[in-house]
Amino acid sequence: MRLEKIAIIGGGALGTALAINFSKKLSVSLVVRSGELADEIRRTRVNSRYLPDAGIPENVRVLSCLEDALKDADLVLIATPASAFESVLGSLTEIPHGLPVIWGCKGFSPASGELLSTVAGAVLGQDACFGVFSGPGFAQGLAANDPSAVVVATNSGHEATLAIAEGLSNETLRVYANPDLVGVQICGAIKNVYAIAAGVIDGCGWGENTRAAMMTRAVAEAKRYLERHPADESTLMGLSGFGDFYLTCSSRLSRNYQVGMRLASGDPLPEVLEKLGHVAEGVNTTRLIRMRAAALGVEMPIVTAVDDILDGRQTPRECAAALMGRDIKYEKRDD
């Protein structure tokens, strides 16, 4: 597979940043939601709402017509929120057979709670080539060409996955191939829950001890969750796991972290989300993982606490007291 032309669907921060980053090596078409927005970006070469400090190179084609962007494309990358994922896929059902479709969304289907790969298989067909692009990659750093490393995982075997990883890599972005499509997706979604918890910790004025304890136990929770799926637990220690956990739990650039900080200040969730102005995937993901964990019999006390805070059932300090008051156990368990 030769990768020379890529169509990126989604004119948010991630889509814009990836268009800037990939344009050093690839021919890039960036598809935005309206002709008016496309005209504005072509004129100013800036996405003023989502990434105002990053200039968009002249060689990035900015379009509002998906059909034009797909002409001669070697790869499609969906960079929309998870809530728009299924509708975008529906517009791709007529693409040429064999054209790979990957996504940078880090969440689950809001309607069913299913992995996005399950949705992709149902819409595109199981014989289509599809996968996920994930890891510790904030839009600002990707657009600034900070040296970064991420992973791509697909349903199409070693050679196809490696070819996509090689095609997307450049002098500032190293893309690793990963065979664990399920694990990469779960890790990319679940870390958003713990980023909310990290923001709550800082918003409450607690220090590094508290964040380190939360992150360590979050890894233990995520491991238990992964074990109940056809996933490789070693993925948790890779870029889509620990790498992304570390990034989103330690930076105020994380939208989910910002949600946690503002909730800790006493702001109601609807007001927090309105002020944020961007999608924080962890809000919906928390509820979905809690429901799935309960159905599987997986103990996830931090996820439960975050869900209680989001729904206003308990305050952060009440949740912290409940977590600290749980029965003492061995750190490592066989169950």
In tens, the pLDDT along 1-21 reads 789 999 999 999 999 999 999
H-state helical runs in the chain: 13-22, 35-44, 66-70, 85-90, 116-124, 139-143, 157-168, 181-203, 208-227, 244-250, 255-264, 269-276, 282-296, 301-310, 316-324
* pLDDT of amino acid 2: 87
5-179 with 182-324: one CATH topology? no
* pLDDT of amino acid 80: 97
Chain segment 219-256, per-residue pLDDT in tens? 999 999 999 999 999 999 999 999 999 999 999 999 99
Return the axis-axis angle of helices 255-264 and 301-310, rounded to nearest 10°.
70
Residue 42 token pair = 């072509």
* pLDDT of amino acid 63: 98
CATH architecture of structural domain 5-179? 3-Layer(aba) Sandwich (3.40)
Domain ranges of the chain: 5-179, 182-324
* pLDDT of amino acid 100: 97
* pLDDT of amino acid 129: 96
H or E, element range at 31: strand 27-31
* pLDDT of amino acid 98: 87
Using 50 as the pLDDT threshold, list the residues of the chain that sit under it.
335
What's the CA dihedral at 210, 215, 218, 220 to 10 degrees? -110
- Which residues are identified as catalytic? 191
Residues 225, 206: Cα–Cα separation, whole Å: 27
* pLDDT of amino acid 158: 95
Count the Cβ atoms, other than its own, within 10 Å of residue 57: 11
* pLDDT of amino acid 334: 57
Domain 182-324 has CATH 3.40.50.1000: no
